[in-house]
Structure 1
Amino acid sequence: MTYLLLAEKPSAAKNFAKALGGMSGTFNGKPYKVQTLYGHMLEFVEPHEMVNGDDAKERFKQWTPETMPWDASELTWKKQAQVTTSPTGIQSSKAKAIADVAIAARGASAIVIATDKDPSGEGQLIGWEVIQAIGWKGPVKRLYFIDESEKELQNGFMNIQDLPSYDKDGEYVKADVRSRWDFLSLQLTRLSTHAARTQGYRVVVRQGRLKSVMTKLVADQLDLVKAYKKKPFYEVKYKDNKGNVFSRSYDEDRDRFRFENKADAEADARKYGQSKVVQDSVTRKETPPGKLLDLGGLASILGAQGYKPKEVLATYQKMYEAKIVSYPRTEDKFISTEQFKEMLPLVPKIAAVVGADMKLLTYRELRKTHVKDGGAHGANRPGKNVPSSLDSVKDFGPSAAAIYETLAKNFLAMFGENYVYNSIKGHIEKYPSFTATVSVPISLGFKAIFDADKETSDDEKSDDPISTGLGQSADRYVFEGVNKKPGQPTHKWLEKQLSRYEVGTGATRVSTLSEVTTGKTALLTDTRGKLNLTTIGEIAAVMLEGSLIGNPTVTEKLFNAMKDAGQFKMKPDAVLHTATELIKHDKEVFYRNAVKLHNKIGAPEPFVEKEKVEGEYVPTGEKLSFNREWNGYAFSDQEVQKLLRGEVITIEGKNPTSGNLYRAEGKLAKGKFKGITFWGFQRLEADAYTAQTAPFPPEWSGYKFTANDQVRLRAGEKIKIKAISKSKTPYEVEVTFEIEKFKGVASWKIKPHFMERPKAATTKNTRKSRP
């Protein structure tokens, strides 16, 4: 039996090849072939392509409030090869990669899904959707591994498991119903955006399972901060000769010893005098190390240091691929016995890297709070490849050293002794209602290494006050206090709120926070871990008042429903029905809340419509209108007439985004944008030209081409020029003149050829993958 192993990404395929002895061969007596996938290789087609009948197609194509929510039972859930767009706008399809899997499967006896195992079941979905796409009817098996070390991949290969059909595979079912629910929830963004635009706000208001909850939680906390009014109060307390404070327990409904003005408190103070302190008890207590961090906890700590979630995700992934840190998307908060035994010999090396004192790392027993069997990948921790120093990991990204130091110290704290202290209780002899409890450290233990509970706490005063013991006597004084001010929402605070509702895993929370804090449609800002709302976020928050999608309790129930679907306790259709009901409810909420926007947000910025030109298109006799401006260039009246006659014109302008000068030839024609057909100036296709006839740009990145440059480039030569970067820094680069694609449109352009920077051996493959 020949196994075709489907690895999730090229780097994983290389690790399999290294562990098994090549991209194909025999291991442990079993023939195999390794085939790389590229993460998700399929995606849902447009909704109107998933329904039958002309009426249904037209209805689903409209995306209008009148046609939503959709009837999910009409959808066929058809998928197609995924199309991705690079940062430079070049589109590529996964169709060939899928075809390669089909070719590789021809000689296989069974296909083995060898993708990552994560809490969401995403790895299972990645494998199954390709298997379905190629029409495979043979056996399907599963290879699980904790990490991509040779030993683990070999162990996984020797323990390959049979899988049932996809509809009986719980991991797949859970992931599939989640992906369908999320596809249906796209309607919420359309409805929210449309509702805002009815009030004049020209914005895209994104909504979704996790992003809406994040936005609403932050908005509600900011409202509490804004509504806070300082209310001072005064009361009598005692302080002993060692600085310990003794106070009375206060019940707002019962007690009357807290005053609004100082004079009343001073009058109350005259009832009390100096007194001795009585020690009531001394109790020796121990506290074990804090929990192991997940990616959410790690990112929240680093956020306070100024590292953005997006950067932490990208850097951590690169470090994982180099086996310097463990699997990122785990939801385990503990490690297995086997993982503990594997990591134990590495403790001295890890400690040396982060400067932890080995004299503190004396605990070698298995802590029940940290070591437990039954997980998958184990908690986030250092990997088996221990770097030589923190400086040696900096090439992975700006946060690499901070990631490793935090993760390593958190892990090493498990080998520190318990924090030991005496808890001392006492009271004021003459007035026993005044009491104090103080902590006197005996041994810091793990706290001298790393205190995870303190680091992840959003409260700066999370510990008991440290003392040297109670004093002998105490004097009364008037204490001035204020009502507690709500804290500014931070990454740490948000992580704690989402964890409390068990909404998402640590990794999904980080990736979603990264998404909602970047880009033109960002909902939140993140400044050294402190969160605030963007203008779009403020609009979204108003829309979410009274909604279900913004309610963390509803989202918690939804996550549980998806888990139930994966355990066959709930039908997938029943889970999808919750989407329809939620959208139906929130649709009314969005439009009801939209009328409040002017009062709560302020008037929208005036929208200036682009100038339109109307006329008869001579070749067909049609009456049409089109934008007078294209890519920053305004057509003259003479050029408009030429376009209406169907003629080709040549224009020269300056790109409004890059500032580069360009020359383009084109004519009036029909175009398509987001499914909408329109008339406008369309650049001639690249294949209509040769290198000799294509419009040539007069300038590129601050460099103006000479006539000789143009001749050489049109002849296919590569020339070196002195360009200027966006930061106004001069640099040299070689360029050619050739066809390139941008957003699916091919055109003749200047193409730079940058020299590849030398990379360390551990960072050869830094391809982005799922966070």
Structure 2
Amino acid sequence: MNTLYIAEKPSLATAIAKYLGGFTKSKTAFEKGDTKVTWCYGHVFATVEPEEYDPKYHRWTISDLPIIPSNWILKPRADAKEQVKAIKEMLQWADVVIHAGDPDREGQLLVDEVLEYYDYKGTVKRILINATDNTSLKRAFDSIMENSQFKNLSQAGLGRSKMDWLLGMSGTRLYTLRYQHLGGKGKLNVGRVQTPTLALVVNREHEIVNFKEQKFFDIHATISVDNEQFKGKLVHEGYIVEQSEAEALMSACKAAGTATIKEWSVNDKKEAPPLPYSLDSLQGYMNKKAGWSPKKTLDITQKLYEMKYVSYPRSDCNYLPMGQYSDAHDILDAISRGSTLPNDFSSHANTSLQSKCFNDKKITAHHAIIPTCEAPSGLDADQQLLYDEIALRYILQWYPAMEFTETKYVFSVASEDFSGRSVFIRDKGFKALIGSNKEDEDTNDVSVAQKDVTATTGDSVSVSDVDYKEGVTKPPKRFTEGTLLTAMANIHRFVSDPEFKEKLKEIKGIGTPATRSTIIAGLIDNGFLSLDGKSLRPTALGEELVKHIPSIITAPDMTAKMELSLMDVEKGTTSLNAVMSEYESFLKGLVESETAIFAQPPKIEGVECPVCHEGVLILKKGSKGPFWGCSAYAQNGCKAVFSDANGKPAIYECPDCHKGFLKQRKGSKGTFWGCSNYPDCKCTKEDAKGKPKL
């Protein structure tokens, strides 16, 4: 039985062939007897451009929108034609195909579309490879499934592809035509994920620019209870903005000397280790720690994956399957031999513990990014830095939670209430390895105790200190590449509708782990965003684009709603046809909402049309050369046409009828000027160096 493996990319095909052993490599496949391993280069097919569906789409017009193909057409990418041809021949040879695309929507779709394009009728199996070390590959080969089990995943990927094409093609044309109709110049590129991502940065910039600083004063009092110090912040409605008021309150509290306990609650708590990394969380951390762009983090993680040292990189999951619990000893051993972390980090890990990261219910097509059982060697500095970070996060899963006692309290001094929080750490647990993150903790409002302390409501205690500090309100921070990526992954935070916000927590943001960094890089490369150090700022072009595109496109709601629909397709609770029908209706509604604007003459700077007085004269190209025509032709049918005179319209009123205008014409005896009102007016004038001789 002839068996053909189709991998998503050459590196994965190489890993499969090496694992199976005994293959000979040709230009397009690995071969051994009745088995071949070939590869795609990601998506090897692309949806054709609108004009390939119908030549009329060469010309951009509102009447042709939205563009919705009745039958979608794919064609091989120009740089993949040779490989596609080879795959076609191998499919004719194969009795069984084993689909080895990456374990996600895109990986499922890109191999499925090859099989569908060539109408493959044989048996199709599916192998999910989350890492390319031998242990992971053996687990994958032991769990080969029917490809039909993943039809919904493929359909969701297809829906995403179609939605992106529809909005990209129709939206770009619609809003470019609208923009130009209102007097703008240039093209407005619209993307289902790109545009709301850009709008996040533009809107944040507006918040910063419009922010008004306000000076304020915070007052803190410290009380002594059982020889421990507890700091509290004045509970005050609004800001204290006058220094004299702050000084008066401070003096009154100092004079009082004692405080009365009003509330005192003590709770024992635990803080579990942070979960292993998803791609989003890894990119965000490395941007903050090392200043890496999301793309750099992805590229290096991909390289480590191809070197068999970490698992599949394009993961949106922070959890691990229970089946990998038993790998802990081998992975920790590989870390101890291949990382630059202290050896006791691995040796002191307690593999009898079970981290909350082991949860089969949280696993989708792939799991969190973790080290494999292969010990790295020969890594460069950046590869080592990233590997160590992934390794450390895995090691933490085998350390206990930090245990602490949290005390929340309110006390009254001179009739003023102060509130605060105290923490007594009983067991550092995993924090012994990584310490506390001081940046995330407002130490002015948190006291650190050295023991458990109890107090009772009504107790009178001494006031050991009262002070005030001057501060200034701060605007929101600009996005970095890392925080913007986090915003895309947690888009529900930017939705105002409470009910919709809650529902959006079910999805994992807009875009995918594989595309988010590419989208951000594209916005920078195409001049919509610029980097100021680590901070992202919108350019004038980015501002202009968001300004002239309606909020239904720039707000994340629409894109997030579509992600929810695709999730329902993936779950099998709705069909792709139903989702696409709804999306096509949405696009038709977008076009209809703009018809009133196009019913008005374009707002274009230029010479007013002397015939209809509604439009302006715009330079056009004709079969006989350039000429000037009225911009209101589509609205009122004005057919005014004027000759071009060195880049300006040649406007000469007919001296005979005073209704028409003289137009330059060519006759049997040469160039002359005749009335546009011909044949009612037969006025003609000689040509004098490009002008009528009047």
The TM-score, its normalising length taken from structure 1, stands at 0.65
Question: What does residue range 431-470 of structure 1 map to in structure 2 within 5 Å?
Answer: 433-450=417-434, 461=442, 465=446, 467-468=448-449
Unaligned runs of 5+ in 2: 26-31, 454-460, 493-507, 604-618, 627-694
| Partner-residue secondary structure (3-state), 1:330 | coil
Aligned match for 1:212, one of 176, 189, 195 = 195
- Give per-residue Cα distances to partners, 1:691-750, cap 9 Å, x unaligned: xxxxxxxxxxxxxxxxxxxxxxxxxxxxxxxxxxxxxxxxxxxxxxxxxxxxxxxxxxxx
Supply the distance in 2 between the matched residues of 1:462 and 1:131 (Cα, whole angstroms): 59
- Give per-residue Cα distances to partners, 1:289-311, cap 9 Å, x unaligned: 12222111111222232222222
Please tell me the residue identity of whatever aligns with 2:163.
W
Supply the distance in 2 between the matched residues of 1:416 and 1:20 (Cα, whole angstroms): 37
Query: Does structure 1 conserve the Cα–Cα contact (< 8 Å) formed by 2:411 and 2:418?
Result: yes
2:228 is the alignment partner of 1:228: no
Distance 1:323 1:271, change over 3 A: same
2:257 is the alignment partner of 1:275: yes
Query: Does structure 1 conserve the Cα–Cα contact (< 8 Å) formed by 2:133 and 2:309?
Result: no
- What's 2:247 paired with? 266
- What's 2:222 paired with? 239
Distance 1:558 1:102, change over 3 A: same
Query: Does structure 1 conserve the Cα–Cα contact (< 8 Å) formed by 2:231 and 2:445?
Result: no
Query: Does structure 2 conserve the Cα–Cα contact (< 8 Å) formed by 1:24 and 1:34?
Result: no
- What's 1:420 paired with? 403
- Give per-residue Cα distances to partners, 1:377-396, cap 9 Å, x unaligned: 320122333324xxx422xx
How big is the shift at 1:349?
4.4
Supply the distance in 1 between the matched residues of 2:580 and 2:567 (Cα, whole angstroms): 13
Supply the distance in 2 between the matched residues of 1:474 and 1:416 (Cα, whole angstroms): 39
Please tell me the residue identity of whatever aligns with 2:71.
T
- What's 2:673 paired with? none
- What's 1:485 paired with? 475
2:125 is the alignment partner of 1:100: no
Aligned match for 2:354, one of 348, 359, 367 = 367
How big is the shift at 1:558?
0.6
Supply the distance in 2 between the matched residues of 1:164 and 1:286 (Cα, whole angstroms): 44
2:70 is the alignment partner of 1:65: no
Distance 1:221 1:351, change over 3 A: farther
- What's 2:71 paired with? 76
2:120 is the alignment partner of 1:133: no
- What's 2:464 paired with? 474
Unaligned runs of 5+ in 1: 51-56, 84-91, 253-257, 599-611, 616-621, 626-771
- What's 1:49 paired with? 52
- What's 1:117 paired with? 103
- What's 1:316 paired with? 301
| Partner-residue secondary structure (3-state), 2:554 | coil
Supply the distance in 2 between the matched residues of 1:437 and 1:293 (Cα, whole angstroms): 30
How big is the shift at 1:12?
1.4
2:131 is the alignment partner of 1:144: no
Query: Does structure 2 conserve the Cα–Cα contact (< 8 Å) formed by 1:275 and 1:428?
Result: no
Please tell me the residue identity of whatever aligns with 2:46.
E
Please tell me the residue identity of whatever aligns with 1:367.
Q
- What's 1:341 paired with? 326
- What's 2:456 paired with? none
| Partner-residue secondary structure (3-state), 2:335 | helix
Please tell me the residue identity of whatever aligns with 1:512.
I
Supply the distance in 2 between the matched residues of 1:386 and 1:466 (Cα, whole angstroms): 43
Supply the distance in 1 between the matched residues of 2:55 and 2:331 (Cα, whole angstroms): 63
2:393 is the alignment partner of 1:393: no
Question: What does residue range 624-703 of structure 1 map to in structure 2 within 5 Å?
Answer: none
| Partner-residue secondary structure (3-state), 1:387 | coil
Aligned match for 2:546, one of 541, 560, 574 = 541
How big is the shift at 1:560?
1.2
Distance 1:288 1:190, change over 3 A: same
Greater CA deviation, 242-251 or 432-441?
242-251
Aligned match for 1:558, one of 555, 562, 586 = 562
How big is the shift at 1:152?
3.4
Supply the distance in 2 between the matched residues of 1:464 and 1:237 (Cα, whole angstroms): 9
How big is the shift at 1:199?
5.8
Please tell me the residue identity of whatever aligns with 2:425.
P
| Partner-residue secondary structure (3-state), 1:259 | coil
Supply the distance in 2 between the matched residues of 1:235 and 1:364 (Cα, whole angstroms): 47
2:6 is the alignment partner of 1:6: yes
2:551 is the alignment partner of 1:570: no
Supply the distance in 1 between the matched residues of 2:485 and 2:257 (Cα, whole angstroms): 46
- The structure richer in helix per residue is 2
Query: Does structure 1 conserve the Cα–Cα contact (< 8 Å) formed by 2:131 and 2:372?
Result: no
In percent, how many aligned pairs have the same letter? 24
Larger radius of gyration: 2
Please tell me the residue identity of whatever aligns with 2:465.
D
Supply the distance in 2 between the matched residues of 1:382 and 1:202 (Cα, whole angstroms): 51
- Give per-residue Cα distances to partners, 1:53-112, cap 9 Å, x unaligned: xxxx24433233332212x2x4310111112xxxxxxxx3x2221221122223321222
How big is the shift at 1:174?
1.0
The TM-score, its normalising length taken from structure 2, stands at 0.72
Distance 1:509 1:122, change over 3 A: same
Distance 1:265 1:38, change over 3 A: closer
Q: CA RMSD in A?
A: 3.7
Query: Does structure 2 conserve the Cα–Cα contact (< 8 Å) formed by 1:9 and 1:37?
Result: yes
Please tell me the residue identity of whatever aligns with 2:528.
L
- Give per-residue Cα distances to partners, 1:555-602, cap 9 Å, x unaligned: 221101112223343332332234434444555579979x9xx9xxxx
Supply the distance in 2 between the matched residues of 1:592 and 1:541 (Cα, whole angstroms): 18
